[in-house]
Amino acid sequence: MATESSILIGQKPVMNYVLATVIQFNQGAKRVSLKARGRAISKAVDAAEIVRTRFLQGQVDISAIKIGSEKVGEPGKERLVSTIEIVLERK
């Protein structure tokens, strides 16, 4: 198993992403990053906090939070969409 894996947050329920994160850690991942854009950012934060405080309490910490924005859309109709990456690391 890779020591680092990524989970892209989308429209599914938060618990799907929580369970995916816990499974990655149980399979030997040292770091898991949760990546989200736009309205899914709050879901990524919720998933990270649920993993950290309920499922893997005392075993996982947030090692980095990266925020930014990227342009999406057709030329002339471009707009900025916020992005976040939350990196969880096993202690």
Which structural domain, as residue segments, surrounds residue 80? 4-90
Position 13 scores a pLDDT of 98
Position 3 scores a pLDDT of 82
Instruction: For residue 57, give the CATH number of its domain.
Output: 3.30.110.20
Position 7 scores a pLDDT of 98
pLDDT at 4 over 90: no
Q: What type of residue sits at position 2?
A: A
Number of domains the chain contains: 1
Phi/psi at 2 (nearest 5 deg)? -65, 150
Position 55 scores a pLDDT of 96
For 17-66, write each residue's pLDDT tens digit. Answer: 999 999 999 999 999 999 999 999 999 999 999 999 999 999 999 999 99
Phi/psi at 59 (nearest 5 deg)? -105, -20
Which of helix, strand or coil describes residue 63? Answer: strand
pLDDT at 77 over 60: yes
